[in-house]
Amino acid sequence: MEEKGLPALMVSHPPNIFYGSGFSGSSARLLVTEKRVVLYTDFRYMEQAAAEAPNCEIVKLTSAAAPSLYQQIGELLQDDGISAVAVEENSLTLQEFNRLKAVGNGLEVLPCSNVVEEIRAVKEEREIEAITAAVRIADNALRETLPLLKPGISEREFAGELEYRMRLAGAAGFSFQTIVASGPRSALPHGLASTRIIGEGELIVVDFGTVWDNYCSDMTRTFVLGEPTPQQEHIHALVCAARETALQTIKIGAQAAAIDAVVRQLFENEGYGAAFGHGLGHGVGVEVHERPTLSPLSKDELKENMIFSIEPGIYLEGQGGVRVEDLVVLRPEGAQVITGSGRELRVM
C-alpha cells in the first residue's frame, strides 16, 4: 500500500477479505491502514470472526449494508488523521462507493484494483499444500468415477457421480459448476453438464475442481468411449504436444503472454489457430480464476511459487473438442505438474 501511495484500503471482495484476515464468512468488509486491520461483520459471524481472524479488530454491525458501516469507517479514518481511502473498484458497488463518499469531512475515495490480487498470485508453501490436496481429491475422484463412463449415461449423471465422490473424500465444495460436454457439445469450452446421453465414439470433455481448506483445484480431461477416429486421435495428440511445449517453455521471469504465444503459434502452424479461442491458462488459489493470466493480452510475469493452469484446447464447431488441463507450480527448476491423472484418450 505504501508503494502504491494508499494510506488506507477498504477490502470488499470476499476472497481478498479471507486472504487478508482469515475470515471466511459471506458478509464483511476489511479496513487496512498502517496502524490497524479492522474487520466489520454482523451478529451472524461474530463468533466465527473471533476464531478465524484473531489478528483483527472486530466491529459488529447491525447489517453489513447499513449506513453505519461507512460512517464508522469515516470516523476511524478521521481519528487516525487519514483523509483518503482506496476501494476495490472491481467489487464495490456504485451504491457503496457513493455511501462511502457521503460520510463527509472531505474523505477522498480512490478506486484501485489488484492490490491484494498481486500478493495472492505468489503462493506460500501452506497454500501450495492446500491446492495440492484439492488436486489429489479431484484426481482420485476421477479415477473412481471413470468406470461409470459408459454409453447410455447422461452428462449430468456422470457429473453427479464425480461430485459425489469428491464430497465423500472431504471436498468442501466445487471450484465451479462441473463441465461434462459430449459429442458436438464438446466443442463448447464451457459446456455445463446437460441431460444429453453420452454415446460411443464421442469426444467427452470433463472439467472440474474441488475446494479444500478454502483453496481450489482445476483440471480437464478428454475421453472417447471405444475406438477413437484418426481425427480425434490427431487433435488430442496435438493438444498434448501443445501442453508439453508450454511446460518446457515456462520459467521464472518469463512473460505469461509469451508462453501463450508459443502454443498459439503451434496451433497456427497445424491449421488450428482459429480453433483455440481462449487463453492458455490462469492462476488458481482461493479463486479458481486469478492471476497470473496466460493470454495474448496478459502483462503478468511468471514468478516462483505461482500456481496456474496449462489448458490448450481445440474446438471444432459441430464436431467436438479436446482440452487437457493441468495445474503447475513454478519452481526454480521449472514448471512442476501437480495434477496426477493420466491423459489417455480412450476409455473402454
**Per-residue confidence (pLDDT) for residue 57, from 0 to 100:** 96
Q: What is the mean pLDDT of each run of 10 residues along the chain (348 residues)?
A: 92 96 95 95 94 95 70 88 93 88 83 94 98 98 96 97 98 97 97 96 97 97 96 97 98 98 98 97 98 97 98 97 98 96 87
The b/e string for 6-40 (b: 16+ C-beta within 10 A; e otherwise) is: bbbbbbbbbbbbbbbbbbbbebbbbbbbeeebbbb
Run of H or E residues at 347: strand 346-347
Q: Domain 125-347: state its class.
A: alpha beta
**Per-residue confidence (pLDDT) for residue 67, from 0 to 100:** 59
Residues of the chain with CATH 3.40.350.10: 8-120
Distance CA 33, CA 251 (A): 35
**Per-residue confidence (pLDDT) for residue 102, from 0 to 100:** 84
Which sign, positive or negative, has the C-alpha torsion 168, 169, 172, 173?
negative
* Residue 289, CA atoms < 13 Å, CB-side half-sphere: 8
Query: What are residue 11's phi and psi, to 5 degrees?
Result: -95, 125
Residues of the chain with CATH 3.90.230.10: 125-347
Query: Could you tell me which of 339, 160, 156, 104 has the C-alpha nearest to residue 243?
Result: 339
Instruction: Please tell me the pTM assigned to this model.
Output: 0.94
Q: Which fold has domain 8-120?
A: Creatine Amidinohydrolase; Chain A, domain 1 (3.40.350)
Cell numbers representing residue 144 in the block: 473412481
Distance CA 47, CA 49 (A): 5
Cell numbers representing residue 231 in the block: 481425427
Distance CA 261, CA 279 (A): 10
**Per-residue confidence (pLDDT) for residue 103, from 0 to 100:** 80
311 in Cβ contact with 324 (< 8 Å): yes
Report the 10 Å Cβ neighbour count for 132: 18
Distance CA 52, CA 21 (A): 8
**Per-residue confidence (pLDDT) for residue 107, from 0 to 100:** 86
37 in Cβ contact with 57 (< 8 Å): yes
**Per-residue confidence (pLDDT) for residue 66, from 0 to 100:** 58
Please list the residues that pair with 40 across neighbouring strands.
29, 59
